[in-house]
Amino acid sequence: MTKRHELTQEEWERIKPMLPNREGLQGRPAKDTRMMINAMLWIVATGAPWRDLPEHYGPWKTVYNTFRRWTKSGLWERIYEALLKDAPASNPVEWTIWQIDSTTCKVHQHASGGKGGLKISALADPEAD
């Protein structure tokens, strides 16, 4: 049985050939790739900080480093494009219904100038304050 936020067997079989193959490489044994992706999906779906990743997924730092490495390499874009090409013509993606709701994007208090807003005088004269 597939847990919530985890890949089904069918989904896993579709993306497995697109993932990096560590076979034959030296160094530490690789973590289970499917478990790593399930951990990443859990983070994305829940919005939790990386450090709150449940222990059964493995060390959060390992999952995070793998996620960043794959992001920088463009792996996620390649998977997305490949899956989009495979989308059935009978059920095309309806782009007009996609949206991003910025009300769910949390910003740290210092990102907007903090309490009381941005001090205009500080911008004009850095010595003032």
**What is the residue-level pLDDT of the chain in tens, covering all 129 positions?**
567 888 999 989 999 999 987 665 555 666 789 999 999 999 988 889 999 999 999 999 999 999 999 999 999 999 988 888 877 766 666 666 666 555 556 666 666 655 655 555 555 555 554
pLDDT at 65 (0 to 100): 93
DSSP 58: -
Rg (CA), the chain: 21
pTM for the full predicted model: 0.65
pLDDT at 117 (0 to 100): 57
How far is 48 from 41, CA to CA, in rounded Å? Answer: 11
pLDDT at 89 (0 to 100): 66
How far is 48 from 54, CA to CA, in rounded Å? Answer: 10
pLDDT at 93 (0 to 100): 64
pLDDT at 87 (0 to 100): 73
pLDDT at 84 (0 to 100): 82
| Three-class secondary structure of residue 109 per DSSP | helix
How far is 108 from 76, CA to CA, in rounded Å? Answer: 27
CA-CA-CA-CA dihedral for 49, 50, 54, 55, to nearest 10? -150
